[in-house]
Amino acid sequence: MLNLIFFGPPGVGKGTQAARVAKYYDLVHVSTGDILREEIKLETELGLKVKDIIASGELVPDEFLIEVLENTCSKHPGAKGFVFDGFPRTLRQAEALDELMKRQDCKIAKVISLEVPEDELLRRLVNRAIEQGRTDDTAEVIKNRLIVYQKHTKPLIDYYKRKNIFIEVPGVGTIGSIFASLCKVIENH
């Protein structure tokens, strides 16, 4: 089973590349952001709980995301593997994912961090907000998301480096060239 985590701040291209990698390697793409936005759209109990949290750019509480993750993984018992996009974002989430992998008798093969300069991130996020009509991507929320990433998510780099599975890949270039770089990294395991 091939399990990958796509890592990096908002706007690096995790979703775009994770979806391509999942399709290419026949893996299940797990985007917590997409799942939560769908829950909000459907006005489910979870969606109503997290709507204001997401709108402010803060992190959704660990217990909600862990539950979403476990439910999603349980829906794919025969999967060849998973590509986690936007999860984990905290140490507690990383530990919960490790526990889930252990229960399924597998592990995370690689944590792939897409590296993009901050000015490029801001440009991408503003464009995404316009193109996709994402009301959760205002300038204020974008700035807060990057602060939250630095505070809560960036510390996971050391966690995964200690496990010797953290790999940095340049996230600037064409979608195709970045994808080709990712495939080389994935196939070299």
Structure tokens at 95: 């530990």
**Residue 187 included in any domain:** no
pLDDT of res. 3: 97
**Residue 103 included in any domain:** yes
Of residues 69 and 171, more confidence is placed in 171
Q: What is the pLDDT of residues 28-63, one digit of tens each?
A: 999 988 888 888 899 988 888 888 888 877 778 888
**Residue 132 included in any domain:** yes
pLDDT of res. 170: 95
- Bond prior to 10 in cis (omega within 30° of 0): no
With cut-offs at 50, 70 and 90, classify the pLDDT of residue 136: low
> Number of structural domains, the chain?
1
Whether the per-residue pLDDT at 189 is higher than 90: the answer is no
With cut-offs at 50, 70 and 90, classify the pLDDT of residue 165: very high
**Residue 33 included in any domain:** yes
Structure tokens at 159: 């966690």
List the domain range (segments joined by +) for residue 140.
Answer: 4-180
pLDDT of res. 24: 98
Could you tell me the CA-to-CA distances from 29 to 64, 67, 95, 117 in Å, in that order?
Answer: 19, 17, 20, 25
Whether the per-residue pLDDT at 110 is higher than 90: the answer is yes
With cut-offs at 50, 70 and 90, classify the pLDDT of residue 104: confident
pLDDT of res. 67: 82
**Residue 185 included in any domain:** no
With cut-offs at 50, 70 and 90, classify the pLDDT of residue 81: very high
The average confidence (pLDDT) of the chain is 89
Whether the per-residue pLDDT at 152 is higher than 90: the answer is no
Following CA atoms 13, 69, 146, 108 in sequence, which dihedral angle do they give, to the nearest 10 degrees? Answer: -60
Pure H helices in the chain = 14-25, 32-41, 45-56, 62-74, 91-103, 118-132, 139-148, 156-162, 175-187
**Residue 23 included in any domain:** yes
Structure tokens at 112: 């792939």
Q: What value does the mean pLDDT take over residues 100-129? A: 90
What CATH number did the domain enclosing 119 receive? 3.40.50.300
**Residue 189 included in any domain:** no
Whether the per-residue pLDDT at 146 is higher than 90: the answer is no
Closest CA to 76 of 120, 29, 18, 32: 29
**Residue 62 included in any domain:** yes
pLDDT of res. 70: 85
Whether the per-residue pLDDT at 68 is higher than 70: the answer is yes
Question: What pTM did the predictor assign?
Answer: 0.85
